[in-house]
């Protein structure tokens, strides 16, 4: 646990954030007939210098939450308090100035870089927009410095994105995010499009940069295996809601929500003898539509231990001790009713592998 966590120095606070996308009908006159409730009331805090992992299956609202926090999507309601200022109320020049402090690393290193621009131009653009360096030489020197920071040859400055591998492109995306010297970075599944060996290198790089530059991360990923290595705390998201939030080690040791148990049981363990003895938790059915989520607990339609109250009453997000939050009517019974599937992660770290 970092010093920032121990001191409780809050950098970002999200309060009841909602992001609903309207559904309209009509050609000439459009009327709203519903909404996709991608993010439906999430609250959390992120301390300075820590990494909060946000996990869940596809379509649960993770990426939308990250973009809404950064105001790339204008939230339907809620507050995003960053260093005492509500980002949802900032406009124009005030929001542009705040962009220096909050950045994003995108999921797809192939789609997030302009193929018509050189690497030097891509990284230099935010430096020039925010006027962080004066003169072409100073900008170029800064770009080459950033390329070295992320483990790339500074002489690559005149190359185009198609000349790089996937791992190298993601490093370019990281350099672009770091160009404005931010405090907070949303990492939107930054390794999901990469090979496993390259994933480890990028995760190691992000950890090293956090130590060197004092960065704070919201790290979004599909699986608990990846976030285990990099996260101080982990939030588990299901159908627009955060269902569990705890310190990383505590979440793996004693999960209190059946959905978290199911995610852990899906993580493969690289030991045939251990894997053979494990009992998988297979969820039945599909994820309900975010247009019309089920009443009560949103997970009850797939939960193997759901009872009557789960179908009618939404569980409160309760602290069960030590900052371990869960939204489940049967949280105290989960580890008795379901096998604890605390899994060893399948992504190697600190391998000392060569730069991708």
Which among 80, 90, 259 has a CA at the least distance from the CA of 184?
Answer: 80
What pLDDT sits at residue 135? 92
What pLDDT sits at residue 92? 87
114-136 average pLDDT score: 94
146-152 average pLDDT score: 93
What pLDDT sits at residue 222? 84
> For residue 108, is pLDDT > 90?
no
Higher pLDDT, 195 or 123: 123
Lowest mean pLDDT among 266-270, 310-314, 339-343: 339-343
Give me the phi and psi of 20, to 5 degrees please. -110, 130
Whether residue 342 contacts residue 269, with contact meaning beta carbons closer than 8 Å, is answered with no
pLDDT tier, 328 (very low <50, low <70, confident <90, very high otherwise): very high
> For residue 150, is pLDDT > 90?
yes
Q: Which letter, b or e, does each residue of 143-163 get, where b requires 16 or more Cβ atoms within 10 Å of its Cβ? A: bbebbebbbbeeebbebbbee
What pLDDT sits at residue 195? 82
51-72 average pLDDT score: 94
What pLDDT sits at residue 8? 61
> For residue 198, is pLDDT > 90?
no
> For residue 346, is pLDDT > 50?
no
What pLDDT sits at residue 93? 87
pLDDT tier, 343 (very low <50, low <70, confident <90, very high otherwise): very low
How far apart CA 159 and CA 155 sit, in angstroms, is 9
How far apart CA 287 and CA 265 sit, in angstroms, is 18
What pLDDT sits at residue 107? 87
> For residue 56, is pLDDT > 60?
yes
Alpha helices, DSSP H, located in 70-154 = 92-98, 119-129, 136-149
What pLDDT sits at residue 73? 94
> For residue 94, is pLDDT > 70?
yes
> For residue 175, is pLDDT > 50?
yes
pLDDT tier, 187 (very low <50, low <70, confident <90, very high otherwise): very high
174-202 average pLDDT score: 90
Helix, strand, coil shares, percent, the chain, to 5:
35, 20, 45
> For residue 227, is pLDDT > 70?
yes
Give me the phi and psi of 122, to 5 degrees please. -65, -45
pLDDT tier, 153 (very low <50, low <70, confident <90, very high otherwise): very high
What pLDDT sits at residue 271? 66
Per-chain mean pLDDT for the chain: 88
132-151 average pLDDT score: 94
> For residue 131, is pLDDT > 60?
yes
How far apart CA 165 and CA 156 sit, in angstroms, is 13
Query: Cα angle at 242 between 66 and 302, to 5 degrees?
Result: 120
What pLDDT sits at residue 285? 82
What pLDDT sits at residue 345? 41
Tell me the pLDDT tens digit for each residue of 255-309: 999 999 888 887 777 767 666 667 777 788 888 999 999 999 999 999 999 999 9
What is the Rg, in whole angstroms, of the alpha carbon atoms belonging to the chain?
A: 21
What pLDDT sits at residue 199? 85
pLDDT tier, 355 (very low <50, low <70, confident <90, very high otherwise): very low
> For residue 348, is pLDDT > 90?
no
Instruction: Tell me which fold the domain 3-101+182-337 belongs to.
Output: Rossmann fold (3.40.50)
């Amino acid at each position: 646990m970092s010093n920032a966590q121990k001191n409780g120095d809050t950098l970002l606070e999200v309060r009841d954030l909602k992001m609903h996308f309207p559904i309209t009908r009509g050609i000439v006159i459009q009327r709203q007939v519903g909404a996709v409730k991608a993010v439906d009331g999430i609250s959390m805090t992120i301390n300075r210098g820590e990494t909060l992992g946000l996990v869940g299956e596809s379509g649960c609202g993770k990426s939308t939450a990250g973009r809404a926090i950064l105001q790339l999507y204008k939230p339907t309601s809620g507050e995003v308090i960053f260093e005492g200022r509500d980002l949802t109320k900032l406009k124009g020049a005030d929001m542009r100035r705040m962009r220096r402090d909050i950045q994003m690393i995108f999921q797809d290193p192939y789609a997030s870089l302009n193929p018509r621009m050189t690497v030097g131009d891509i990284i230099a653009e935010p430096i020039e927009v925010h006027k962080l360096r004066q003169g072409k030489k100073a900008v170029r020197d800064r770009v080459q410095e950033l390329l070295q920071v992320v483990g790339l040859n500074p002489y690559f400055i005149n190359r185009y994105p198609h000349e790089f591998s996937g791992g190298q492109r993601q490093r370019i995306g990281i350099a672009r995010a770091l160009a404005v010297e931010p405090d907070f970075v949303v990492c939107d599944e930054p390794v999901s499009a990469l090979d496993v060996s390259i994933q480890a290198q990028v995760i190691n790089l992000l950890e090293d940069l956090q130590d060197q530059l004092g960065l704070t991360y919201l790290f979004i990923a599909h699986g608990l295996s990846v976030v285990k290595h990099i996260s101080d705390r982990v939030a588990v998201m299901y159908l627009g809601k955060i269902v569990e939030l705890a310190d990383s080690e505590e979440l793996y040791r004693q999960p209190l929500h059946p959905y978290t148990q199911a995610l852990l049981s899906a993580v493969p363990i690289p030991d045939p003898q251990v894997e053979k003895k494990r009992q998988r938790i297979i969820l039945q059915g599909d994820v309900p539509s975010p247009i019309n989520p089920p009443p009560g607990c949103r997970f009850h339609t797939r939960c193997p231990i759901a009872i009557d109250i789960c179908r009618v009453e939404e569980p409160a997000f309760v602290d069960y001790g030590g900052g371990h939050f869960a939204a489940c009517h049967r949280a105290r019974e989960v580890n008795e009713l379901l096998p604890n599937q605390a899994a060893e992660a399948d992504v190697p770290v600190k391998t000392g592998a060569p730069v991708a």
